[in-house]
């Protein structure tokens, strides 16, 4: 999707985007090599987001507050860390009115970005995690409250930011969600994405809830990263089409 956007902007082939597999132990050394190879920056994903922030020289507001970065910018000998996951989520949602009740499922790097983004928009956020202590620690740092047994129909917005379903398993069996209690007027987001809507989103849609899949969030956060590197705003539609083909 990034290469499609670069071509649409007229920046290819001078600019290109590629995937690089890096083991955690090799992250610092490999990132250090990239500027000399002509890289303007990188996206980083699980499990590197917190480590990416730690190796940066300075960080944008979102990355610093969340404690994780998904975007690095090479500026001479300096590395700047940014987090486009948080604003990308808000872009995908369109609007989060102040006072909206939200449930975040998970307590990892993605969940931290979701919690920070929603709280910044004035939402009242609850957090559930399979390991409660991690949720308690995250809430103590970023705000919100912990719910051990959340009631599905009590929330205006539900965001699955956990790893449930990431490896193709049954996310519904791993989450404290009653599919019979989804309702119209809710928005349900699953940050896990695939070629078909997840079981979580299928059940929510069946009940009349609005759904947002992880692919849309991927596109929105990717567009913000690309704009940071190039200074040009890419076409979301071009990126959506390319991402859906992938």
Asked if 86 and 109 count as a contact pair (C-beta separation under 8 A), the reply is no
State the Cα–Cα distance between residues 130 and 26, nearest whole angstrom: 30
Pairing mode, strands 41-43 and 71-75: antiparallel
Alpha-carbon distances of 217 from 61, 150, 202, 212, rounded to whole Å: 20, 24, 17, 8
Contact 204, 231 (CB under 8 A): no
Structure tokens at 193: 């994405």
Q: Are 81 and 69 in contact (CB under 8 A)?
A: yes
State the catalytic residues: 49
Q: Dmax of the chain from CA atoms?
A: 55
Instruction: Compute the distance between CA of residue 214 and CA of residue 77 in angstroms, rounded to an integer.
Output: 34
Q: Name the one residue in this structure whose structure tokens are 């704009």.
A: 227
Query: For residue 180, how many C-alpha atoms fall within 13 Å in the half-sphere facing its CB?
Result: 0
């Amino acid at each position: 999707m990034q290469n499609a956007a670069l071509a649409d902007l007229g920046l290819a082939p001078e600019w290109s985007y590629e995937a690089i597999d890096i083991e955690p132990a090799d992250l610092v050394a490999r990132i250090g090599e990239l500027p000399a190879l002509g890289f303007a920056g990188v996206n980083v994903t699980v499990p590197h987001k917190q480590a990416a922030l730690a190796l940066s020289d300075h960080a944008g507001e979102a990355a610093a507050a969340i404690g994780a970065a998904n975007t690095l910018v090479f500026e001479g000998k300096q590395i700047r860390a940014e987090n486009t996951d948080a604003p990308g989520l808000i872009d995908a949602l369109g609007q989060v009115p102040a006072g909206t009740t939200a449930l975040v499922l998970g307590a990892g790097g993605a969940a931290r970005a979701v919690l920070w983004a929603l709280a910044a928009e004035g939402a009242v956020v609850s957090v559930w995690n399979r390991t409660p202590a991690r949720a308690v620690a995250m809430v103590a740092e970023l705000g919100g409250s912990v719910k051990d047994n959340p009631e599905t129909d009590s929330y205006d917005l539900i965001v699955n930011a956990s790893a449930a379903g990431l490896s193709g398993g049954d996310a519904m069996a791993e989450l404290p969600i009653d599919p019979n209690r989804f309702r119209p007027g809710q928005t349900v987001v699953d940050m896990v994405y695939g070629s078909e809507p997840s079981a979580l989103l299928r059940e929510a849609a069946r009940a009349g809830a609005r759904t947002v899949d992880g692919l849309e969030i991927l596109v929105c956060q990717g567009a913000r990263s690309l704009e940071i590197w190039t200074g040009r705003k890419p076409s979301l539609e071009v990126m959506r089409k390319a991402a859906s083909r992938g």
